[in-house]
Structure 1
Amino acid sequence: MIPFDFDYYQPASIQKAVEWFQLLHKRGKNPMYYAGGTEIITWARTNSIHPGAVIDLKAIPECHVMEIQNDKLVIGACVSLSALSTANLFPLLSETAQGVADQTARNKITLGGNIAGKIHFREAVLPLLLANSKVIIAGIQGVKEASIHQVFTQQLRLEPDEFLVQTVTDRSYLSSPYVHYKKRQIGKIGYPLVTIAALKKNNRIHTAYSGVCSFPFRSFEIEQVFNESSIPLAVRIEQAMSKLPAPVITNAEGSAAYRKFVLKQTMADAIQTLERG
């Protein structure tokens, strides 16, 4: 149960959502946008956030699109992870989404909610980073398109008045050879130690990671090392480990030392599989 009251709004258009945000902000309501709402509910129950108003984006048609448009895959921010997996228009994204939480939770968790969340895994962003996807963002200044690399650095960096409307991915990435590994300490239960998503495009391997550091990431420096095929794989992996963007985390799932061990093994599996393909 959420231990405080708040106002609820469900606009039917992008323009109306932004207008409501402006008005509620002027009234001192500390408004928040939400798509799936699972994480916001969790934080609110623990008194970690206190919005005076929430703006539900699920009635906005553009946020529910999931189709190919002019050789681009367009996915609305309010599309659930379950719907993504079922449609399977971008197999790597579908497989990654299917590994998030359990089926009941995936029915509620949305693509936008997962990407914009505060929990450090946010795995759904990994295929989008690999595919150099674009994002459509709405705010007081209007609707704009940007590279995901411009707005996602450790987390989705939007202005308070902005929200994610859609992701746009070039169709050529949808059929690229890929691998996805999610390593847990025990079976298929609990948070992961390491998640790696990787694909091969134009004979080059691209990799992205979650669970390793305190944020999901793609490292172009690591990719440069991995694509030096004249160097033995074991040497490449050691070099890649030195280029991680932040310290490897220690948490209830495993120590940094154990996580590094798992990461190295998983890197080897990913590179070997894609180099053979």
Structure 2
Amino acid sequence: MIPFNFDYFKPETVDEALKTYTSEWKLGKKVVYFSGGTEVITFARGGKMTADTVIDVKGIPECNVLEMQGDELVIGAAVTLNRLIESNLFPLLSETARTIADHTSRNKITIGGNLMSKLGYREAILPLLVTDAIAIINGPTGTDVEPMDHLAAVELGDGRFLTQVKVAASNLELPFVHLKRTRSSKIGYPIVSLAALRKEERIRIAFSGLHEHPFRSAVVEG
């Protein structure tokens, strides 16, 4: 049970979400976005977070997209990990997501929720780092397109939320490897998790668990 009361909104457009955020924020309320809700619920029950207003982005069409658009794969922030795995449009991302939590949890955990997690692991970002994916972020000042390494290291804040991730089609079928080591089960938090692929005879590699946030290593890549 969540030990506090809050107002819940499920907007149907990006503009509606932003207007809701702004109006609630102006009233002095603490506002949070969520796309899956698993982490919000867990943290709230554990007394690690509070909120006056929760804005659920799952009703926004752009956040539910999972398809090829021209020469890009577009992934909405509200797409669940299991939906990604089953589509297998991006095999390295599918392989990485398969080791996050258990099957039941992955029906609720979304790509946006994992990428925006307050926990430092955020393993789903690893395939996106090595493919130079971009993040589409909406906020009160407009729409921003940001590189994935920026998303890995910085909290969005200021009423901004992740809407979509885009990956160039040329990176989707490259040779890859994903490895994860935990203290116990295969789906626990990683001691280290890595995703690597080969492009133009060079290895690209990103890590989770070795630092406070995931990162791509120029040193290891050489």
TM-score with structure 2 setting the length: 0.96
Instruction: Using the TM superposition, name which of 118-127 and 16-25 deviates more.
Output: 118-127
Show the counterpart of 2:65: 65
Q: Would you say 1:166 and 2:167 are equivalent positions?
A: no
Deviation of residue 187 (structure 1)?
A: 4.7
Quick one: which amino acid aligns to residue 107 of structure 2?
Answer: N
SS at match of 2:93: helix
Show the counterpart of 2:95: 95
CA–CA distance in 1 between the matches of 2:134 and 2:187? 33
Once the two structures are superposed, the pairs formed by residues 1-277 of structure 1 within 5 Å of their partners are 1-153=1-153, 156-188=154-186, 190-224=188-222
CA–CA distance in 2 between the matches of 1:146 and 1:197? 21
The superposition leaves residues 38-60 of structure 1 with CA deviations (integer Å, 9 ceiling, x where unpaired) of: 11111111222111010000000
| Structure 1 residue ranges, 4+ long, deviating more than 4 angstroms after superposition | none
Instruction: Using the TM superposition, name which of 17-26 and 191-200 deviates more.
Output: 191-200
CA–CA distance in 2 between the matches of 1:35 and 1:187? 26
CA–CA distance in 2 between the matches of 1:36 and 1:160? 20
CA–CA distance in 2 between the matches of 1:72 and 1:181? 26
The superposition leaves residues 182-217 of structure 1 with CA deviations (integer Å, 9 ceiling, x where unpaired) of: 122335353222211100011100111112223211
Deviation of residue 159 (structure 1)?
A: 2.7
Deviation of residue 9 (structure 1)?
A: 0.3
Gaps of 5+ in 1: 225-277
SS at match of 1:193: strand
Task: Give the structure, 1 or 2, with the largest relative contact order (CA under 8 Å, sep 6 or more).
Answer: 2
Gaps of 5+ in 2: none
Deviation of residue 21 (structure 1)?
A: 0.1
Quick one: which amino acid aligns to residue 216 of structure 1?
Answer: P
CA–CA distance in 2 between the matches of 1:145 and 1:194? 29
CA–CA distance in 1 between the matches of 2:44 and 2:92? 32
Point out the structure with the larger helix share. Answer: 1
**Number of residues of Structure 1 aligned to a counterpart in Structure 2:** 222
Instruction: Using the TM superposition, name which of 189-198 and 170-179 deviates more.
Output: 189-198
SS at match of 1:58: helix
The superposition leaves residues 107-133 of structure 1 with CA deviations (integer Å, 9 ceiling, x where unpaired) of: 000000000001121100000000000
Deviation of residue 5 (structure 1)?
A: 0.3
CA–CA distance in 2 between the matches of 1:95 and 1:148? 19
Point out the structure with the larger strand share. Answer: 2
Deviation of residue 152 (structure 1)?
A: 2.6
Instruction: Using the TM superposition, name which of 189-198 and 137-146 deviates more.
Output: 189-198
TM-score with structure 1 setting the length: 0.78
